[in-house]
Chain A
C-alpha cells in the first residue's frame, strides 16, 4: 500500500516578475517503508514539492492531489493538518538556522514530544535526551541543555534528525540534510539517516547523488519542476535513460566532473517542448515542439523517463 500518493501536483508562486511554476504536474508514489531520493539542481522544485506535502508553503498556489494513507491532505482543515505534522509526517531541514537560537536544543526536541501527549515536562525532557542518544550524540544529557550556537554543523544536523524522529513519524521528509557539511561529517550523517529510517518511509531531497544512492530504494530526478526520470536506484545508476540524468552522473567528480552546459532555466519562463532540450547534447527536432510524457522504458519495467529519444527505442 502506498503511504504517499501525489497526483498531478502543481505549485505556483505569484510574484511581481510573473508566475513562478515551481512544480508542474508531478505524479509520485511512495510505498510504505520505501525510501525515495528526490534529486535535482537548486531551483528544480524538489524542496517546494517536499514542503507542499506538509502544506508549509506560504504564498503558494497548490493544485492537484496529495494523499497520505488515504487522506487527501489538500482538503484537510488546518487543525487536522497540524495533527499530522511532526507525529505522522516530519520534516528534517538543513540545519544552520533551523533550530531556534535562544532555546535549549533539548527543550526544542521535548516540545515536539509534549505535543504528542507526553504532558510531564521531565518525562518529555528525558525522552528528548533519549532521542539525542539515538542519533549517536555523546553526552546527550549535557548537550540537551546547550544552545544551538554551541553545536557544530554536524551536531546540529544530528539534533535536527533527533527532532524529526522524536515523535516516531511514519513518513519523513528530509530536505537536503547533508547540504553544507564537510565530506567526513556528511558521510556520517548519511549513514545515520540510513540507519534510523530502516523501518520508515522517507522522501530524501538532495542534490547529492551518492548520498541518495546509499540511502534510497528508488530515485526520482527532477528538472524544471517536473520528474524526468524515476526508477530503482540500481537501475538509475546502471542505466540512466534521460540525458539530464546522464549529465548529472558525468558531473560527479569520479566521472570527470563534466558540467551540463548552460544554466537551469527560470521557472517563470519555462522552455517549450522538452524542458531540457536547450541544454541537451542530442536534441531532435521534435524535442523543441512537443512536451515528452513520462513513460515506462521498454527495456526496464518500472523505470520511467521523459525523453523522446528513448521512447522510440
Chain B
C-alpha cells in the first residue's frame, strides 16, 4: 500500500516536473532579446563569425524543438546545461550561490515561521481582544510594506546614519587580505536577515491566527475548559496541535521558497545569492541558467509537498499516508 502510494506519488511528481520544465522553456524562449545582444551588442553586429561560433557552441543554431528535446534528455541525465554568463555548468553556479542564499534565507525563514506562529497563535486565541486587534493592525501594516522598502529603511538607519552595519555585500574589503571570516559575514548578513524576517512574518502570522481562531469554538476546547485548565494550557496542549495541522504545508512551502532566494533583498544588499543570480541571469538573458534556477525551484516545491504529506501522519493521528488517496 505504502510502496504503491510512493510510486504513484513519484510518477505524478515527475509529470509535474516535466510540465513545469516545458512551460518555463516555452516562456523563456518567448522572451524578447538574447544573450549576445544584451551583453555584447557590437560583437553580434561587427563580428558575425564570433556570433555564429557562440551559437554553435551552445547549440542555439538548432531549431527550437530540437533544443527542447536535447534539453529534456540532458536534464533527465543530470546535465542542466552551461551558463552563458559564467561559462560553467548551471548546477555548479546554482550550488555556489545557493550557499550564500541560505546564509540569509535560512535564519530569516526559521525566525519568521517561529515568530509568526507564536504571535499568530496568541492573537488568534485572544481574538477580538485589544492585544489581538493592535497586533493584527500592526501586522497588516508590516505586511503591506514591500521587503525592499524595509531593506532600504534598514540600510538608511542602521547602515548609513548609525553606521552599525555595512551597507551591502557579504564581506569587508579586508577579506581580500585575511580571507572571509564568519564574524564578518554574519555582520553583513544581519540587515538582510532582518529585512527578510520582517517582511515574511505577517504571512505566517495571518495563517496561524486564522487557524488558531478556528479552534476556539471547537467542542474539545470546551471540554478542556471544563477540566479546569488555564487558558494558556488549553492553547498549548489542545488548540496549538490542531491549529498546526493546516500550517504544515505552508511551512514546507516556505522552506522550499528559501532556496529561491529573494530577488529584491539580495539585489539591494548586493548579496551574492540565488535571488541576485536570478536577476542577473534575467538581465543578460542567460536562458540555461534561468531555466536551471526555475527547475530547481520546481524540484524544491515538489519535494516540500511530498515532505508535508509524509509528515502529516506524525502530527495528525487520523491521517494515514497511502489510504483513500
Contacts and interface: CB of A to CB of B under 8 A. Distances in A.
B34 interface: no
Contact of B226 (A83, A85, A96): A85
Contact of B317 (A56, A84, A111, A147): A147
Nearest to B244: A102
B226 A54 contact: yes
Interface stretch (A87-95, A246-254, A304-312): A87-95
Contacts of B318: 101-102, 147, 149
Nearest to B216: A58
A132 to B, nearest CB: 16
Contact of B227 (A97, A112, A149): A112
B225 interface: yes
A239 B107 CA distance: 75
B227 A103 contact: no
B316 interface: yes
A111 B219 contact: no
A102 B219 contact: no
Interface string B232-264: 000001100110010000000000000000000
B23 interface: no
Interface in A73-89: 82-87
Nearest to B245: A102
Contact of A86 (B220, B222, B227, B316): B227
Nearest to A92: B226
Contacts of B220: 97-101
B61 interface: no
Contact of B228 (A86, A96, A97, A149): A86
A111 B224 CA distance: 9
Contacts of B223: 91, 93, 98-100, 160, 163
Contacts of A97: 218-220
Contacts of B317: 101-102, 147, 149
Contacts of B224: 100
Interface in A207-251: none
A115 interface: yes
Interface in B284-325: 315-318
B229 interface: yes
Interface in A278-295: none
Nearest to B221: A100
B130 interface: no
B228 A102 contact: no
Interface residues of A, number: 26
B227 A85 contact: yes
B230 interface: yes
* Interface range, B side: 20 to 34
A253 B150 CA distance: 71
A82 B222 contact: no
B143 to A, nearest CB: 29
A215 B229 CA distance: 30
B227 A111 contact: yes
Contacts of B222: 56, 93, 98
B241 A103 contact: yes
B228 A82 contact: yes
Contacts of A85: 225-228
A93 B219 contact: yes
B211 to A, nearest CB: 13
A83 B228 contact: yes
Contacts of B237: 103, 111
B320 to A, nearest CB: 11
Interface in B51-90: none
A86 B230 CA distance: 12
Contacts of A112: 227-228
A173 to B, nearest CB: 9
B242 A102 contact: yes
A100 B224 CA distance: 9
Nearest to A147: B317
Nearest to B237: A111
Given A99-B220, A102-B316, A103-B241, A56 B228 contact: no
Contacts of A102: 241-242, 245, 315-318
Interface in B198-231: 218-220, 222-230
Contacts of A56: 222, 225-226
Nearest to B223: A98
A289 B238 CA distance: 51
14 contacts: A85-B226, A85-B228, A87-B228, A98-B219, A99-B220, A100-B224, A101-B220, A101-B317, A101-B318, A102-B242, A103-B237, A103-B241, A147-B317, A163-B223
Given A56-B222, A85-B227, 15 more contacts: A54-B226, A85-B225, A85-B226, A93-B222, A98-B223, A99-B220, A100-B224, A100-B242, A101-B242, A101-B318, A102-B241, A112-B227, A115-B227, A147-B318, A149-B318
Q: Which 4 A/B pairs are nearest by Cβ-Cβ distance?
A: A85-B228, A86-B228, A147-B317, A100-B220
